A = this chain, B = another copy of it.
Amino acid sequence: MSRQKFYGIVAYTVTPFTGEGEAIDAATLRRLVDRLIDQGAHAIAPLGSTGESAYLSDQEWEEVAEVSVRQVNHRVPTVVGISDLTTRNAVRRAKFAESVGADAVMVLPISYWKLSEREIIRHYDAIAKAINIPIMLYNNPATSGIDMSPELIARIVREVDNVTMVKESTGDIQRMHQLVQLSDGAIPFYNGSNPLALEAFAAGATGWCTAAPNLIPELNNRLYEATQQGDLAEARQIFYRQLPLLQFILKGGLPTTVKAGLKLLGIEAGVPRHPLLPLDEERTRQLQAILAELR
C-alpha cells in the first residue's frame, strides 16, 4: 500500500443525471472523468459531497463507482467516497469500491445521531478491516454534523491500520497545524475547503480535494505548482485571482454551482437531485460573470 500517491489537485466529479435528476447519465460521467484527467488533475474523487453520493440509491451508487473507476483506468489514482449512515452499508460500499479497482476510499462519519468517539473509531475500524486499500479520513462537520478533533483524527490514524490520509474541510487552518504537531508531520493531510487553498498549501497540505477543476483546472494547477516551487508571490497572485470562483461554489453548494458552471461552459451534466434545485437565474448570471473574468 503506497502511502503518498495522492497529491496535488484531487478533483471531484459531479454525478450527471438525465432529465429532472432521474437516472445516472453514464456517458457524460465518462466524459467528465476524461476531461478532468486531460486537464491535469492529479487524482479523481468520485462520489464525494460534490457527487451527490448522499442522494443516490445503492444501485445508482454502485453504477457511478464502477463507471468512474473503470473510466479513470489507473491513469491517475482514484479515491471513492463510500460514506453511509449505517456501518453495514459503508462496509458494503467500501468493498465494492475496492472490487472495481479504487485506489482508496474516503470516509466521512455521517450520522443522524451524533456519534461518540468510541462509535466513530469502531465505524472506521469496521470499514478498514473489510478492505485492503487505504482510507482517507474525511472531517466535515458542516455536512456530516460530526466534528472530529485533531486529537481524535491523529488517534484514528495511529490505531486503525489503513487510515493513512486525512481530508480536513472545517476551513480552520489551526486544525492542520495541530495535525502536523500531533504526528510530527507524518500524517498526509488534504485541504477540502476551497477558499483556504493558498494557506493550506503554505501550512504543508499534500493536496487539495476540490470540485473547482471542473471549471478552472488551469488556475488550480498553477496554484499548486507555485506553492511547490515555493514561489509565494506567484501563488498569492493566482490564489486571489481564482478566489471569487472558490467562494461562489462554496457558498452556493458544490453540486448546484458546478453543474451550473459546466452548463455555462457548454457541458450538459443535468441538474442536482431534489430537494436540491438548479442555480437560480440571478446567481447563474453572477457565476457567468466570474467565469468570464477568469478566461
Contacts and interface: CB of A to CB of B under 8 A. Distances in A.
Interface of A: 49, 52-55, 85-88, 109-116, 118-120, 122-123, 126, 142-143, 145, 171, 173-174, 177, 180-181, 185, 195-196, 198-199, 202-204, 227, 230-233, 235-236, 240, 243-244, 253-256, 273-277, 280
Contact of A111 (B171, B198, B254, B275): B275
Q: Which 10 residue pairs across A and B have the least CB separation, nearest first?
A: A54-B112, A87-B274, A199-B199, A123-B275, A202-B202, A230-B232, A87-B275, A113-B253, A119-B275, A232-B232
Nearest to A274: B87
B202 A232 contact: yes
B275 A55 contact: no
9 contacts: A52-B112, A53-B112, A87-B275, A111-B276, A112-B143, A113-B255, A114-B253, A116-B277, A232-B232
A275 B86 CA distance: 6
Q: Assembly of this chain: how many copies?
A: 4
Contacts of A231: 230, 232
Given A118-B277, A202-B232, A230-B232, 8 more contacts: A53-B112, A54-B85, A54-B113, A86-B273, A119-B276, A174-B196, A204-B236, A230-B231
